[in-house]
Structure 1
Amino acid sequence: MHIGERIKMLRKERKMTQEDLANVLKVAPTAVSAWESGRNKPLMDKLSMMSTCFEIPLSHLIEGAPIVRNNPGMEFLNEKNVRLIGVYGNIPAGEPNFTNEYIEAYMPTLNSMLKSDKEYFFLRVNGNSMNKEFRDGSLILVEKTNYLDNGKIGVVLVNGHDATVKKVRINEENIILTPCSTDPFYEEKTYNIKNDRVRILGKVVQAIKIYD
């Protein structure tokens, strides 16, 4: 069974039409048809999105590895219960407005995992300053907010242009950003709330981790 046949089988299991899947993946229905017939193969970003959409390992889509299903009541993504969240490779400098020009892809995410009154974005982690939590290249889901409870992991903009992901502590005068890394190069940094340009952009609520 080739990749396209597995996509077709998974799509039909979820009672999705080719158009339904195409709408979730932001492609033309003809692209899904070409995949399923074996005339073409989806790129890795679409395979990753389908892995999330179908809630199956990427290895099953690519290689046909077995699927272990532990939850018979599992909720699957479709056009009605999904929100497409933009993926950013980096945070725009200055006053971030998170416009489409900076979005590198969209990740389908179940509405049940999100708060209806909140905005979200995915951020691709760069570097190893948080590798105890998530490795370089991992995707983190961030809820937009300018407030964080002490000890939570957040995305913070420093000096108007350096966006960083760190564990955050705040007192009356300072904001302390603590790395969670195996590399001693990364050290805790303290910024004065009044004198330094430090702005909380959001809190990390989920991570899609990357493994070797």
Structure 2
Amino acid sequence: MHIGERIKKLRKERRMTQEDLAKILKVAPTAVSAWESGRNKPLMDKLSLMSTCFDIPLSHLIEGSPTVEDNPSMEYLNEKNVRLIGVYGNIPAGEPNFAREYIEAYMPTLNSMLETNKEYFYLKVNGNSMNKEFSDGSLILVEKTTYVESGKIGVVLVNGHDATVKKVNIFEENITLIPSSTDPFYEEKTYNINKDRVRILGKVVQAIKIYD
């Protein structure tokens, strides 16, 4: 079974039309048709999106995946139960700006993984300061909020610089940002919430790990 046949099988198992899948992936229905017939192959970014849509590992999509018969509880995907969440390569320095112009892509995410009254964004991880949790280049799903409980991982803007991802510890008027890294170069730093320009932008609720 070639990859197009697997895409077709997975799509039908989830009761999606070619148009449904095309809208989620932001491609023409003819592109989906060409993939499924074997006339063309999807690029890796579309394969990655489809693995998220179908809620299976990318390797299963490429090499062969379980069927709905194997997993009857598998959720059917379509436009009605998927929300497109913006992916940011970084959040510009200065005042936080979530404008569309900074969005690099959109990641389809099941509504069942999200709270209806919350806003979310994806952020690409840059660097190794949190590599015990997620590697450089991984995507993290972030709930927009100005409050993060101590011990949780947050996205924080410090002194107007680009947003940083760290474990947060808040005690009285101080906030400590704690790395989780195999590199001893990264050390925890403490800021005064009132005196320093520290702003919590959100809390990490999920990570999509990238493997070399």
2:174 and 2:192 in contact (8 A); partners too: yes
Correspondence 1:134 to 2:134: yes
2:141 and 2:206 in contact (8 A); partners too: yes
> Equivalences for 1:30-179 in 2 at 5 Å?
30-64=30-64, 66-67=65-66, 71-179=71-179
**Matched residue SS, 2:172:** coil
CA distance in 2, matches of 1:77, 1:90: 29
CA distances 1:136-168 after superposition (whole Å, capped 9, x unpaired) = 111110000000111110000111122100000
Name the structure 1 match of 2:185.
Answer: 185
What letter corresponds to residue 16 of structure 1 in structure 2? Answer: M
Deviation of 1:67 after TM superposition, in Å, equals 3.2
Deviation of 1:62 after TM superposition, in Å, equals 2.0
Which structure 1 residue ranges, 4+ long, deviate > 3 Å from structure 2? 66-71
**Matched residue SS, 1:51:** helix
1:57 and 1:67 in contact (8 A); partners too: no
Aligned-pair identity (%): 85
Using the size of structure 2 for normalisation, the TM-score is 0.94
CA distance in 2, matches of 1:68, 1:182: 39
What letter corresponds to residue 192 of structure 1 in structure 2? Answer: N
**Matched residue SS, 2:163:** strand
Matched length: 211
CA distance in 2, matches of 1:92, 1:155: 13
Deviation of 1:71 after TM superposition, in Å, equals 4.4
CA distance in 2, matches of 1:27, 1:109: 17
Deviation of 1:63 after TM superposition, in Å, equals 2.8
CA distance in 1, matches of 2:4, 2:138: 26
What letter corresponds to residue 27 of structure 2 in structure 1? Answer: V
CA distance in 2, matches of 1:162, 1:12: 43
Using the size of structure 1 for normalisation, the TM-score is 0.94
> Equivalences for 1:191-210 in 2 at 5 Å?
191-210=191-210
Deviation of 1:133 after TM superposition, in Å, equals 0.8
CA distances 1:72-91 after superposition (whole Å, capped 9, x unpaired) = 21213211111011111111
**Matched residue SS, 1:194:** coil
Q: Name structure 2 gaps, 5 residues minimum.
A: none
Name the structure 2 match of 1:12.
Answer: 12
**Matched residue SS, 1:148:** coil
CA distances 1:73-124 after superposition (whole Å, capped 9, x unpaired) = 1213211111011111111222222112111111111111111111000111
2:175 and 2:190 in contact (8 A); partners too: yes
CA distance in 2, matches of 1:63, 1:81: 26
Deviation of 1:175 after TM superposition, in Å, equals 0.9
CA distance in 1, matches of 2:42, 2:67: 24
Deviation of 1:68 after TM superposition, in Å, equals 8.1
